[in-house]
Structure 1
């Protein structure tokens, strides 16, 4: 029997993540699973053309940014916990897809639920896809949720 005791929802707090959050919370609720909320603060050296340039995030501000991110995760977790859901929050720093995969292994995650930006064509080639990288290398199944998923589901429910 397949048991989904630990569900991971990695979030970047974007609107694209909201449908995946709702799927992850609903699955965790129905299955009695623990929901893990994770945000990865991107490593400045990976996004800055010059690691010494201060235009993105001065290195000294990383602890403050991670603390603010933890507060955002706690705000996201509180309404879920109020419904009786068991929620674990975590903030990591580094390359998002690598940190998500490492967290999934360390926590023995059974399912990753994540949103996609739905990029195609040149934007996909240039920007890559965190969701695609996670799906290809994940130690567990991955459910990707497109931004239109909730709209389509709501339309079917009304019909």
Structure 2
């Protein structure tokens, strides 16, 4: 049923719950597993200068060592958990608007299923911060399994 499963991760506990589901499904369907970390350039643009932001969007983190380490830790978590079950993982880091990067990755890599966490924000927090999960649901044309943090 599924040949390639994508788990977008930000390294949070909610993402880790989604990872567990993605790994179970990858094992059950003998599917390839992909881990994607997106550096959210929209939120970073508030604190970074234009030149720094351009380098990040091009995948050149330079002095942004913290960002690279956080991204590698998040995708590495997926790969490590999958390896415990004998599964290989494709790890990828990109930069941009998370829902757009997820949709592009789905299209470019023939992904059949996206498994992602939802932080469950509501009200003003959701209006101000938006919802990557909601935007992803609207942006992709494959099934999306949403794992709530509760």
Paired residues of 1:7 and 1:36 also in contact (CA < 8 A): yes
Give 1:18 deviation, angstroms: 1.6
* Partner residue in 2 for 1:129: 131
* Partner residue in 1 for 2:95: 93
What is the distance in 2 between the residues matched to 1:129 and 1:136?
11
What is the distance in 2 between the residues matched to 1:68 and 1:120?
26
What is the distance in 2 between the residues matched to 1:128 and 1:80?
30
Query: SS in structure 2 opposite 1:9?
Result: strand
Q: What is the total number of aligned residue pairs between the two structures?
A: 143
Question: C-alpha offsets along residues 105-152 of structure 1, whole Å, 9 cap, x if unaligned?
Answer: 00010000000000111111111100000001112111100012xxxx
Specify every segment of 5 or more residues in structure 2 that has no aligned partner in the other structure, as ranges: 57-61
Matches within 5 A, 1:55-74: 60-62=62-64, 65-66=67-68, 69-70=71-72, 72-74=74-76
What is the distance in 2 between the residues matched to 1:118 and 1:46?
19
* Partner residue in 2 for 1:153: none
Matched, 1:4 2:2: yes
* Partner residue in 2 for 1:139: 141
What is the distance in 1 between the residues matched to 2:73 and 2:46?
29
TM-score normalized with structure 1 length: 0.78
What is the distance in 2 between the residues matched to 1:17 and 1:90?
15
* Partner residue in 2 for 1:48: 45
Structure showing greater Rg: 1
* Partner residue in 2 for 1:111: 113
What is the distance in 2 between the residues matched to 1:117 and 1:61?
29
Specify every segment of 5 or more residues in structure 1 that has no aligned partner in the other structure, as ranges: 149-159
Query: SS in structure 2 opposite 1:69?
Result: helix
Paired residues of 1:46 and 1:95 also in contact (CA < 8 A): no
